[in-house]
Each structure stands twice: as C-alpha cells, then as structure tokens.
Amino acid sequence: MFTPIESTDWLCELVDQASHSVYVCSYSLDEKSFLHALSEAARRGVDVRVIFETGVAPKDVRVRMDVESSLLHLKFIVVDGERIVLGSANFTENSLKRSINDLLFIEDRAVGLQLASFFDALWNGELKRFEVSHGKILLKNFDLEDLLLKELSKASKTVDVAMFALTHPKVWSMLKILSSKNVKIRLLVDRWFLNNSMLKNLPDSGIELRIFEPFTLHTKLFIIDGRVVVSGSANATKSAYERNVELMMLIRETSLVQHYREFFEHIWQEGSEP
C-alpha cells in the first residue's frame, strides 16, 4: 500500500479484529481513528501496547516513550502475532494522509511471533538483532549499510531512488560509481531536504535528479534493476544506519516489485527539475 490515503478504516479494522494482542512501534503517533481503535481494543481486554518517541498516547493503552538519544525510528504493527504492517509511514495524520510512504502487509504467524518477541524485548529496554524472511521478503534491523551497499553493487542497468534524506557518503559514492559504469540513476528527493542539504550543489554526475513537491516525500526506497526493492524505515544517512533503531525490507517477490516500480514511475512523473 502506498500513501497518501483518504481513510485509515483498513488499519482500524485490523485492530478491531484483534483477539488477544496489538503491538505498535512508531516514531510518532497521532492519527485519531487509529488511536480510538487502539483504545477500544484495550477496553475489551486485548493486550494493546505502544512504544513511540513523540505524539499522542491512546487512552487506556499501556505505552512507553523512548527517551534515548538515538531515534526509535522503525514503524510496525503486530496483531495477534500473525498480521503485520510495516514500512516507512508513521501512524500519524501527516504520514498516512499527506505524505508519500509505502506500507507492506504480511500475514505469517512465524514472522509475527518473532516480531512480537522483538517488540517484547524493546518494551523491556533491550534491543535485539532481528532478521526473518517471509518468502522472498527479508526483514532486518542490523548491518543495514552493508545490506544496501551489497545490493546496490549488483546493479547493472538501473537504480531508482525515492528518499526523504540521502546523505550517507558510502551510498553517494556507490551511486556515483554505478553512474560511471553507465547504470542509469534516477533520484527523487523531497523539497525540504533539497533546501537543507548540499545536494543542490552536487556537480553533474550523470545522476538524474527531480524534486517532489505535492506532498512530503517520506519513503526510503531503492529499486535495483527493476528486480529488487530495498525499503523500510531508514533514510540513507549515517545516523539511520549507525545509531537509530530501524527496520529494512529487502523484497525480491516479482509481483510486489512490480507494484513498487509502478509507484515510483507515478511519483517520478510528478517530480520537477531542481
């Protein structure tokens, strides 16, 4: 699923269907309908717990706010240990309804139970390494820089990037190296980021740059040779890869990759030259 969306009914229905547990982890939280659904679930006896860094705490729900200097930046929901929502979107009005994001829905009890266990550890103040696969989808929270660079190094034709913040020197270097090898690089960035970075001073490097302005471009997306998607919560920055708590998705499932390709082409056409 890609945002912006007009209604969060699907998200609320997911919570409404919970029979025993709903665990939410998000940097920020304030979408009113979702907050109400969490509160109602808690009132009917569902174990509802939320970990977040900023925003609004739902009533009657157990919450913990992260106060570490590093950002708790990953975003996911686990319902009944088997239904999972994760991606680049915080569960806020702005992120869901007025920003460009991607969200993935997975129904897999083995993955859900592992993510629920990971959540429990976070709840108790412990950050565990997390790596699990669902078919041709890999979810991972460590060595994110290495994972991304390894996939980028395999590019032979194209790399399409839609990213809120891209400042990591090794990622920039890899993109420039690929461009020098005639790999076509398309980079779509948010206007705010362009105005607050050195990107606008980037010399001509063969990288095609466009600026997205209709909404906040909050996604963190790489599409490599039209066959592999790297996405998730992490911007391509040193703080994301070295300090923050993040979750990366590596997707090789052909049908899903095709959806991401269509999504990128749509937002690319809405971009403008800097």
- pLDDT tens digits, residue range 12-21? 999 999 999 9
Q: Which residues neighbour 177 within 8 Å (Cβ) at sequence distance 6 or greater?
A: none
pLDDT for 119 beyond 70: yes
pTM for this entry: 0.93
What is the pLDDT confidence band of residue 198, given thresholds at 50, 70 and 90?
low
pLDDT over 80 (residue 35): yes
The pLDDT > 90 percentage for the chain reads 79
Taking only the tens place, the pLDDT of each residue in 54-75 is: 999 999 999 998 756 567 899 9
Can you tell me the mean pLDDT for 112-117? Answer: 96
Q: Place 215 in a pLDDT band, splitting at 50, 70 and 90.
A: confident
196-202, long-range: CB < 8 A, 24+ apart: 197/165, 197/167, 199/166, 200/274
pLDDT for position 207: 86
Q: What mean pLDDT is predicted for residues 4-26?
A: 94
H or E stretch at 194: helix 191-195
**Mean pLDDT of the region 61-90:** 89
Q: What residue spans define the domains of the chain?
A: 2-128, 144-270
**Is pLDDT at 205 greater than 80 in this prediction?**
no
Task: Look up tokens 């240990």; give the residue.
Answer: 81
Considering only CA atoms, which of 220, 193, 210 is closest in space to residue 103? 220
pLDDT given at position 167: 85
Alpha helices in 17-168 (DSSP H): 32-43, 93-97, 109-123, 144-153
Architecture of the domain made up of 2-128 = 2-Layer Sandwich (3.30)
| Cα dist from 259 to 1, 27, 216, 263, whole Å | 9, 26, 20, 6
Residue bearing the bigger pLDDT, 225 or 7: 225
Q: What's the confidence (pLDDT) of residue 203?
A: 54
- Whether 2-128 shares its CATH topology with 144-270 is answered yes
Please compute the mean of the pLDDT values over residues 46-59 and round it to a whole number. 94
pLDDT at site 138: 97
Rounded mean pLDDT of 253-257?
97
Assigned architecture for domain 144-270: 2-Layer Sandwich (3.30)
Q: In the predicted model, is pLDDT for residue 197 greater than 70?
A: no
In this prediction, residue 152 carries a pLDDT of: 97
Whole-number pLDDT of residue 70: 63
Of the listed ranges 34-48, 148-162, 207-221, the one predicted with least confidence:
207-221
Average of per-residue pLDDT values in the chain? 92
pLDDT band at 196 (very low <50, low <70, confident <90, very high): low
What's the rounded mean pLDDT across residues 162-188?
A: 91
Q: Please check the confidence at residue 269 and state whether its pLDDT lies above 80.
A: yes
pLDDT in tens, 151-171: 999 999 999 999 988 888 899
